[in-house]
Amino acid sequence: MITDKKKNMPDKITIAIAGMGNVASTLIKGFQFYKNSNDGLWHPRVGGFTINDINLVGVFDVDSVKVGKKIKELVTEPNGGFGDLTVQPGIAEDPRPSHVLNHGQLKSVKYNEFVNSLKRIKPDFLLSLISSGMDRSGEMYSKAALEAGCSFFNATSSKIINPQIKSTFESKGLMILGDDLMSQFGGTAFHRGMIEFMTNRGIKIQKAYQLDVGGNADTQNTMAEELREKKRKIKTESISVEAPYMFRSTAGTTEYAEQLGSSRVSYYWMEAKGFLGSNIEMDLSLRTDDSTNGCNVIVDSIRAARMAISKNDLTKSEIISAYAFKSPLKKMKIRDSIKSFEEEFVS
Ligand SMILES: NC(=O)c1ccc[n+]([C@@H]2O[C@H](COP(=O)([O-])OP(=O)(O)OC[C@H]3O[C@@H](n4cnc5c(N)ncnc54)[C@H](O)[C@@H]3O)[C@@H](O)[C@H]2O)c1
């Protein structure tokens, strides 16, 4: 348990974001809101830092509608004092899929030019909040972060983290965190919590599903069949950690419904057995706001990682990734990951 900021700890954490979409905008609004309140913050202080210690120093996108604009032109509400930052062009290494950026033209720079931009601002972390399915770009962002001397955070479902890249980052005193952000109280976290509770109460789950419907741009992107399949695999594997036995389950994004806007609805069904094989059947739905749901986890991980990096305690990335992502290298039960995270980082 940490008690206060250590003497050798930096005062501020600097971040740059690739992908100026819904999550980035929400995060920026949060930086303003939490100047005067702790309402809705999961952990006001992590690693000795408050959310106000996080400083946004760069934003990148490849949508020509966004590149060149100031944040204040894109985030209409208060923008955390970062309104005058200009969105710079990022890297576009994927063939442009029809489901992404269908309203704008691409505006990007070559890899080396991006690395130079990153070196100029030298953030502690580069956060990849780019659209689902941009796998090659995500990978190039992680390489660019490494080359520029920044730690990397992959919120997307692209498979970026592996033991080799993790140790390459660590050999430079940096961290890589990922993959696929697990929202604070989203479809996957809630599903895992239910399974844990039922198995702890001695109930034997037989079959289950979780069907997610959303109305934002990311859900629309996920409708591409290949991506849908990939996300289904990640979510299904993520929830399987919670039960000590196998049962038939499917979890995945099922439909895009524009009228839901920023909301996401998860529909759950579970069939289980109790004493004398008695039947237990559950039908539930959970509606949340997608972008806000990810932000506590993002600001918690960055602060924890900054603390661990300053102490050169780089293997702590395993706890942070298990706490914050659906597909970490080292999987932990959700309860254990929160406990370990709080013991290490929350004062
Ligand atoms: N709770 C959550 O919101 C949550 C949970 C898990 C994962 N995620 C992931 O976080 C990411 C961001 O989510 P979002 O809702 O903000 O998405 P979004 O679609 O609103 O925004 C994505 C942004 O990335 C930009 N982009 C696309 N390719 C790029 C590239 N190569 N370089 C730079 N920018 C690029 C797009 O122009 C867009 O502005 C997604 O991959 C999503 O799957 C979010």
For residue 287, the cross-strand partners are 265
pLDDT of 252: 83
CA distance 71 to 82: 7
Q: Which two tokens stand for residue 113?
A: 């030019």
Instruction: Give the Cα separation of 76 and 262 in Å (integer).
Output: 16
Q: What is the DSSP letter of 20?
A: -
Exposure of 63 by Cβ count < 10 A (0-12 exposed, 13-18 middle, 19+ buried)?
buried
- How many Å apart are CA 55 and CA 301, to the nearest integer? 15
Q: Which residues pair with 251 in a beta bridge?
A: 210
What pLDDT, on a 0 to 100 scale, did the predictor assign at position 3?
43
Residues 6+ apart with CB under 8 A from 135: 94, 158, 159
What is the per-residue pLDDT for 228? 86
**170 exposure class (CB count in 10 Å sphere: 0-12, 13-18, 19+):** middle
Cα distance between residue 228 and residue 247, in whole Å: 21
> What is the pLDDT tens value at each position of the chain, 347 positions in all?
454 445 567 889 999 999 999 999 999 999 999 999 999 999 999 999 999 999 999 999 999 999 999 999 999 776 768 889 999 999 999 876 555 555 668 899 999 999 999 999 999 999 999 999 999 999 999 999 999 999 999 999 999 999 999 999 999 999 999 999 999 999 999 999 999 999 999 999 999 999 999 999 888 888 888 888 888 888 888 888 999 999 988 888 788 999 999 999 999 999 999 999 999 999 999 999 999 999 999 999 999 999 999 999 999 999 999 999 999 999 999 999 999 999 999 97
Please give the pLDDT value at position 55: 96
- Taken in order of first residue, the domains within the chain and their CATH numbers are 13-182+292-345 (3.40.50.720), 187-290 (3.30.360.10)
For residue 217, the ligand 1 atom closest to its alpha carbon is: 19
Instruction: Please tell me the distance from the alpha carbon of residue 2 to that of residue 46, in angstroms, as a whole number.
Output: 9
Give me ligand 1 centre to Cα 248, in Å.
Answer: 31
Contacts of 53 (CB under 8 A, 6+ apart): 11, 12, 13, 303
Which residues, in sequence order, are bridge partners of residue 266?
A: 212, 286
Amino acid at 123: P
Measured CA to CA, the distance from residue 126 to residue 149 in angstroms comes to 10
Please name which of 206, 224, 222 lies closest in space to residue 214, comparing C-alpha atoms: 222
* C-beta of residue 87 within 8 angstroms of C-beta of residue 24: no
Q: Find the 333 Cα to ligand 1 centroid distance in Å.
A: 26
Instruction: Look at ligand 1, atom 31, and give the residue with the nearest C-alpha.
Output: 92
Predicted pLDDT of residue 139 = 97
What is the model's pLDDT at position 101?
56
The pLDDT value given to residue 104: 66
Task: Give the DSSP letter of residue 43.
Answer: -
Please give the distance, rounded to the nearest whole angstrom, from the Cα atom of residue 40 to the centre of ligand 1: 23
Model confidence pLDDT, tens digit, residues 286-303: 999 999 999 999 999 999
Give the pLDDT of residue 76: 79
The CA 23 to ligand 1 mean position distance, Å, reads 7
Contact 298, 339 (CB under 8 A): no
Cα(226) to centroid(ligand 1), Å: 17
Ligand 1 atom at minimum distance from 104 CA? 37
Q: Report d(CA 319, CA 344) in Å as an integer.
A: 9
Residues with CB under 6 A from ligand 1: 18-24, 60-63, 66, 90-92, 101, 129-132, 134, 137, 155-157, 180-181, 183, 186, 216-218, 290-291, 293-294
The phi, psi pair for 154, rounded to 5°, reads -110, 100
Bridge partners, residue 285, by sequence: 267
